[in-house]
Amino acid sequence: MENIHRRTLLKTAPLGALAFTSACQSISKTTQTNQSTSSPNNLAKDEAFWAHIASQYDMKPDIINVENGNWGVMSRPVLNAYIAHTERVNRDNSFFSRREFYGELRPILENLATRLDVSTSELAITRGATEALFNIINGFNKLQAGDGVMIADLDYDSVRDAMRNIAKQNRCELIELTLPEPASFDAIITHYTQALENHPNTKLLLLTHISHRTGLAIPVREITQIAQARGVRVVVDAAHSWGQMDFTLSDLGADFVGLNLHKWIGAPIGVGLMYIREDRLAEVSPNICASDGEQDKIYGRVHTGTSNFAAILTVPDALAFHDMIGPKNKEARLKYLRSLWVDACKDNSRIQILTPEDNRLHAGITSFRLKDITSTTGNKALAEHLLKEHNVFCVHRNGIASGSCIRITPNVYNSPADMSLTAKAVIKTALNYSP
């Protein structure tokens, strides 16, 4: 699949769009060689290969950065491409935006649609998953008074707020779930199934593919099928999942999806995607700024204004670098790095790992909690302690029904040594730290 995507990219990308260095080309050659002789799970432990990948990133040297969930660092080849695109846009000014940009946007959308196994008419570029989800939720026009709108405690704060507000505006019932902890694949499906049975008025369901709070990856496809059979529309927050896990939108089967390209795909900050299934387009009203000609188009559902053209032009470069690593290889590596610190910590009686061991229910992100520290203040102080005392940079997360936590998020430039030092810091802190 990676080679197919690379060929598609090379055929559709405009001249000069791939500003890659010789180092990036060597990654492609190394990857192809390793893929022919090694499975993703075996390649995940090939430290020579991953050291070569890590060498393509320029990182802050005085900390161990295991907080890669905010946004993704661009690799050096992608950064160089972004700089080149920025220089071009700045030089060509409005001649580019008025005469050239939309011709170059079309093959980018075609590339993305091919990868996600959807139609270009179902995709629109946004500034991120949040913008995509806001426009979908705010524009959803099938709610009536008394209908149900369902969210969960692990959903993203501002997306939860959008669902709350649309419920209030339409005089709907807001149904808030607390996901099971510890979770299991079947328990999550049962939890949503029971909630839908208990609330037959539900018309709109928010599912977060990978939670930014704990890293829990829920079985979206299975839940979506159950919900849709009951006439429920499903909107999926895939901000953290595409690029961290290997899947297509047809795999999920959802009605609406918001995705990021600047987290795990590695594009510049400010690029995301909005997906609306073609037969659901009329259920999302056009943006108030949409022209007459945009009323029946997906891009009539979002109006960003002047965009960061260079960031969008860099998407093919980011996708090509992602392909050179290999989506399945990347997913396996992130899961492997996660396992190194989790396996070292999970038997400690004070450390509570919040993300299950089931390989289907996590990727690289996993959160932990010290059993007697559940407050936001306490976990914020704990994250500060890990940085000051151990040079381990991570972040606290709140909003979970059972209490706040610390999130550990490795990326492909992290090493087993980073994860070992992270584990040692967490274990030492668990033994000696008191709030």
DSSP line for 48-91:
HHHHHHHTT----TTSEE-B-SSSPPPPHHHHHHHHHHHHHHHH
**CATH number of the domain that 277 lies in?**
3.40.640.10
In a domain, 134, yes or no: yes
In a domain, 385, yes or no: yes
254 and 125, same structural domain?
yes
163 and 291, same structural domain?
yes
Cα–Cα distance measured from residue 428 to residue 324, given in angstroms and rounded to the nearest whole number: 38
358 and 238, same structural domain?
no
270 and 236, same structural domain?
yes
**Model confidence pLDDT, tens digit, residues 76-115:** 999 999 999 999 999 999 999 999 999 999 999 999 999 9
Residue carrying structure tokens 């590596």: 333
Cα–Cα distance measured from residue 244 to residue 362, given in angstroms and rounded to the nearest whole number: 10
Final residue in a domain of this structure, among 298, 318, 338: 318
Residue carrying structure tokens 């580019």: 96
In a domain, 117, yes or no: yes
167 and 131, same structural domain?
yes
410 and 265, same structural domain?
no
Q: Please give the tally of structural domains in the chain.
A: 2
218 and 150, same structural domain?
yes
Cα–Cα distance measured from residue 388 to residue 381, given in angstroms and rounded to the nearest whole number: 10
Strands 64-65 and 392-393: parallel
281 and 347, same structural domain?
no
pLDDT for 434 equals 86
**Model confidence pLDDT, tens digit, residues 363-385:** 999 999 999 999 999 999 999 99
Cα–Cα distance measured from residue 311 to residue 267, given in angstroms and rounded to the nearest whole number: 7
- The two counts, helices (H) then strands (E), for the chain are 16, 13
364 and 242, same structural domain?
no
In a domain, 216, yes or no: yes
Cα–Cα distance measured from residue 133 to residue 35, given in angstroms and rounded to the nearest whole number: 36
**Model confidence pLDDT, tens digit, residues 263-303:** 999 999 999 999 999 999 999 999 999 999 999 999 999 99
pLDDT for 8 equals 41
337 and 307, same structural domain?
no
In three-state form (DSSP H/G/I as H, E/B as E, the rest C), the secondary structure along 377-420 is HHHHHHHHHHHHHHCEECEEECCCCCCCEEEEECCCCCCHHHHH
**CATH number of the domain that 368 lies in?**
3.90.1150.10
In a domain, 85, yes or no: no
116 and 199, same structural domain?
yes
In a domain, 228, yes or no: yes
In a domain, 95, yes or no: no
**Model confidence pLDDT, tens digit, residues 172-201:** 999 999 999 989 999 999 999 999 999 999
428 falls in which pLDDT band (50, 70, 90)? very high
> CB 326: neighbour CB atoms within 10 A?
22
Final residue in a domain of this structure, among 271, 298, 318: 318
> Which has the minimum average pLDDT: 37-51, 205-219, 223-237?
37-51
38 falls in which pLDDT band (50, 70, 90)? confident
24 falls in which pLDDT band (50, 70, 90)? low
Final residue in a domain of this structure, among 283, 318, 353: 318
With CA atoms as reference, report the closest residue to 235 among 210, 254, 212: 254
Residue 398 structural domain: 329-432
In a domain, 311, yes or no: yes
Q: What would the two tokens of residue 43 be?
A: 């390649």
**Model confidence pLDDT, tens digit, residues 316-367:** 999 999 999 999 999 999 999 999 999 999 999 999 999 999 999 999 999 9
Query: How many degrees, rounded to 5, is the angle at CA 271 between CA 64 and CA 220?
Result: 80
Task: Answer whether 396's CB lies under 8 Å from 404's CB.
Answer: yes
361 and 245, same structural domain?
no
Please, where are the H alpha helices in 68-219?
76-99, 101-116, 129-139, 157-169, 185-198
Which amino acid is it at 332? A
Look at residue 66 and tell me whether its pLDDT is greater than 90: yes
